[in-house]
Structure 1
Amino acid sequence: MFSRRDFLKLSGVAAAASGLPLCAHPLSAADYTLDIAPYSLQISAKHSVKTTAYNQQVPGPLLRFKEGQPVTIEVTNQTGSEEVVHWHGLFLPPDVDGAMEEGTNPIPAGANARYTFTPRPAGFRWYHTHVFAGNDLKKGQYTGQHGFLLIEPRENPARYDREFFLALHDWDGQMLSSGDGSMNPAYNFSTINGKMLGFSEPLRAKQGERVLLHILNSSPTDAHWLALPGHEFQVIALDGNPVPKTQTVSMLRLAPAERVCALVEMKNPGIWVLGEVRKHIQSAGMGIVVEYSGSSGKPIWQQPHSLDWNYGQFSAPVSSSATGEQLIEVPLIFESKFAGHGAPDHWMINGKPFPNTDTLTLHQGQRYRLQFINRSNDDHPVHLHRHSFEVRSLPGNGPGSDAKVRGIIKDVILVDAQSRVDVEFTANNPGMTLFHCHQQNHMDLGFMMLFRYA
């Protein structure tokens, strides 16, 4: 079968021949530099992970851009295989977006590449590798190649006294067979900002402060739930986009590649654990200490009784009146086909795996409703490159029911097993556009398709 690996080999050859901006000697200084190289990450006093990272740190350096102000980033690949950097959540041309399937140049081993673009839209974005990994759990999103990217808005979304950027990640995985014959990673370690609970510096704050948390789930495959005992999160943005209705919640859920921006009122002095709600994941290291000035003692954790999260709580009021807007509906059915006995075959969209999936033709200015119909027994965090979408329908309380929503703008959404989610977007950024599941193993096994502008 013609695989994603085969497609990337061919697209890499084509890109190298196209004269896209690979360079060995830059003509002028770049605004930022990223160095992709092997790295030994110390995640605890007793454990280290051999991985690949940006600028010898995990996460990579925080990049702060000004909306609408052009930037140039010089990337050097010091690994033994080709790489590419995807600027997740930005509205970019396909040749710099960072997906070889769209036509972005791969960076050969030992070579440099230069990305020049005008960053938009404002908000909390991120950057990461976008290469094939397969069964090599030392490549792709299984590595430490992820970093925060903040496009400064013209106005801050909320008043705050200090901010922290947090990345959730899982490490040292092994592929295990599930009951349906599919293969999924299981991890030995989980971290926040590359450190296990108790090994990193605490997040320090003072009583009465408003702390803004920018949280990213950079895990290659797993969703995570977070809680901070004695405190609540006021969610102000999802995937970097302000929510129409802010809500105060006791816990957060982030699927792979999702981001949440939340304010925390520091009004309960002490030393606390901000950590994964599920005990076995927190025991694997996913947590960080939050310390008030002047406090002492052991960090406190209080176990919530249930997992609680719902996109719909952030929705604007939904009007029952028709808008008159002409929509084109596009059903996208997610299914799996596995050979069994630990030998996965492929994931499919509308009955076909990538690169054999049908290409959706978009027309500039047209509004589309994508119907994500998940007939598989896995949850899928699906991502649309180079665009954002508005969530319009979520699973309801009973079979065949749904909940109408409005105004929630995202670029990744988790579609639960055996459920349906509808989103809408306007085709306003011409060029090849990739759609895929953000789980590395699902993407590598065919869960991708391309949208092409007419």
Structure 2
Amino acid sequence: MALAATAKMLRGQMPMPPAAHTSPDASTQGNADITLTIAPVTVELAPERVLSTIGYNGTSPGPVLRMREGRPVTVNVINQTDTPELVHWHGLAIPPEVDGVEEEGTPFVPPQGRRRYSFTPRPAGSRWYHSHAMAYSDLHKGAYTGQFGFLMIDGASDPGAYDQELFLALRDWEPFYTTSMEDEDEMAQNDPQPEKPEVMNTDPNGLEVSSVTFSINDKSLGAGEPIRVKQGQRVLMRFLNASAIENRRISLSGHQFKVISMDGSPVPNPALVETLLLGAGERIDAVVEMNHPGVWIMGAPEDAIRNAGLGVVVEYAGQHKQPLWVKPASIVFDYSVFGSNAAPRTPDHTIEMIFEKLPRGASPFNTFLVNGKSYPHEREFVLEQGKRYRLVFRNRTDDAHPMHLHRHLLELTEINGKKTSGIMKDTVVVPYYGRAAVDFTADQPGLTLFHCHIQQHMDYGFKALFRYA
């Protein structure tokens, strides 16, 4: 179906023209379809709260980029900082040399230099782009900066008739180190914990990254313009958790979200839920029927997080009231609700992956292990092209980890013992002390990075490099 209205961009975002047809070109000479400039920017979260960071094209989030599936595109990236940079095209099936990842062999964009990315975007759906530079102990680098933006790959089909299209990035700012983390955002406490060790590690935890400053896009709750809607409208909300630190929940008082796609792929069973849970790096597209007039707050169900900025006002036309927050009846979010009952295809090979945390293993920071080792796992994970693999994630840590496999699509087949199929993703949250299984086909030859999408976890060992035989 055709769009019922043009896309609405919230403040801090700009529409980009559709990519013109071009041929791949490794040089940076001549015109490109898109130009991204990496440079210092300011973000006004509220009139008296202005931050300085690094962003794209003068803003954070950067411009909303729209590309056509299967149509080659060129992007010139100009780096006006003194730090080597990488732009990762998250969720795209593209060659490793343009994926934007050092471990896969993508060249850096040099300080005060430029580089051209040329690729054919696929598959269609909600993707995003962001820095993939390592940060380690520097909280002013990598994903802690404002280098992120939405990437929409338009395909031949449309998710349905809707009246508004919103791009909504959940974001934390001003990160700091702490030894006490309150994980209010984890999976529901009543979930089974099949991987909880019989003997717990009681060593003191290392420094972890936290934040108490939040926003949706570039505005904290109570600042900026509300989302304006009319009774009877269908609003397509494209959510992204652009956090480098945590998984996040979001609810809209008085309304339900009809989840239609995850990580850009349509779900087999669209379903209504009160609360969404997005791991760092995940996207969820949901349609909301505007059938409850008033002025409402959409935000984190955790009071401390919402009151610290993770929210936005939703205002119906003709309504002039104080914004109202209503606590959702349920904050449970279960992937399997959106899946199929059909049995997934039998894999050719199964790879078991045990996740563990070593407190203060890189003193004063924690390190993370996959099958008893930190990165790089030299030639440990070798794929045969065309074969089907099942990855079984056994999370023996007290964190819920958003696990991302580059350049491939994952089919979720199990979450904490619940079987499912048909849910296609690129990032899957493995519950703390929990288990998940995903299948993928080895159809993208070349080096492929696998990692936790929480920046500090990735920096301190939680990644592995898959190779093709």
TM-score under structure 2 length normalisation: 0.88
Report the AA paired with residue 77 of structure 1: N
Among 143, 149, 153, the residue aligned to 2:155: 153
Query: Deviation of residue 305 (structure 1)?
Result: 4.6
8 Å CA contact retained: 1:38, 1:53: yes
Aligned residue number for residue 194 of structure 2: none
Matches within 5 A, 1:58-69: 58-69=60-71
Q: Deviations over 1:302-328 (max 9, x none)?
A: 122542110010011234xx95x4520
Query: Deviation of residue 135 (structure 1)?
Result: 1.6
Matches within 5 A, 1:274-423: 274-319=298-343, 325-339=346-360, 343-356=364-377, 358-395=379-416, 402-423=417-438
Aligned residue number for residue 207 of structure 1: 231
Change (3 A) 1:374 1:358: farther
8 Å CA contact retained: 1:41, 1:58: yes
Q: Deviations over 1:374-433 (max 9, x none)?
A: 1112211100000011000110xxxxxx11101010000111121110100000011100
Aligned residue number for residue 454 of structure 2: 439
Change (3 A) 1:326 1:270: closer
Report the AA paired with residue 88 of structure 2: H
8 Å CA contact retained: 2:445, 2:468: yes
CA distance in 2 between partners of 1:197 and 1:422 (Å)? 37
8 Å CA contact retained: 1:276, 1:282: yes
Among 41, 44, 69, the residue aligned to 1:42: 44
Unaligned regions of 5+ residues in structure 2, if any?
Answer: 1-23, 181-202
Report the AA paired with residue 382 of structure 1: M
CA distance in 2 between partners of 1:21 and 1:417 (Å)? 44
Secondary structure in structure 1 of the residue aligned to 2:407: coil
Change (3 A) 1:78 1:91: same
8 Å CA contact retained: 2:38, 2:79: yes
Matched, 1:232 2:259: no
Matches within 5 A, 1:65-214: 65-178=67-180, 180-214=204-238
Aligned residue number for residue 6 of structure 1: none
CA distance in 2 between partners of 1:414 and 1:49 (Å)? 30
Change (3 A) 1:423 1:340: closer
Q: Deviations over 1:136-183 (max 9, x none)?
A: 111111111100000002010111111100000101111112474232
Report the AA paired with residue 64 of structure 1: R
Matches within 5 A, 1:1-80: 26-80=28-82
8 Å CA contact retained: 1:21, 1:113: no
Which stretch shifts more, 132-141 or 177-186? Answer: 177-186
Secondary structure in structure 2 of the residue aligned to 1:60: coil
Q: Deviations over 1:2-48 (max 9, x none)?
A: xxxxxxxxxxxxxxxxxx9875xx32200011000111211111111
CA distance in 1 between partners of 2:261 and 2:414 (Å)? 19
Aligned residue number for residue 186 of structure 2: none
Secondary structure in structure 1 of the residue aligned to 2:336: helix
Secondary structure in structure 2 of the residue aligned to 1:261: strand
CA distance in 1 between partners of 2:348 and 2:307 (Å)? 47
CA distance in 1 between partners of 2:98 and 2:374 (Å)? 25
Query: Deviation of residue 51 (structure 1)?
Result: 0.7
**Aligned residues with identical type, % of pairs:** 45
Secondary structure in structure 1 of the residue aligned to 2:212: strand
CA distance in 2 between partners of 1:171 and 1:339 (Å)? 24
Which stretch shifts more, 344-353 or 253-262? Answer: 344-353
8 Å CA contact retained: 2:205, 2:366: no
Secondary structure in structure 1 of the residue aligned to 2:399: coil
Which stretch shifts more, 403-412 or 335-344? Answer: 335-344
8 Å CA contact retained: 1:22, 1:112: no
Report the AA paired with residue 154 of structure 2: E
Among 427, 449, 452, the residue aligned to 2:464: 449
Query: Deviation of residue 338 (structure 1)?
Result: 2.4
Report the AA paired with residue 376 of structure 1: T
Unaligned regions of 5+ residues in structure 1, if any?
Answer: 1-19, 396-401
CA distance in 1 between partners of 2:385 and 2:250 (Å)? 40
CA distance in 2 between partners of 1:71 and 1:167 (Å)? 24
Report the AA paired with residue 390 of structure 1: E
Aligned residue number for residue 430 of structure 1: 445
Query: Deviation of residue 355 (structure 1)?
Result: 2.4
Aligned length: 424
Change (3 A) 1:140 1:28: same
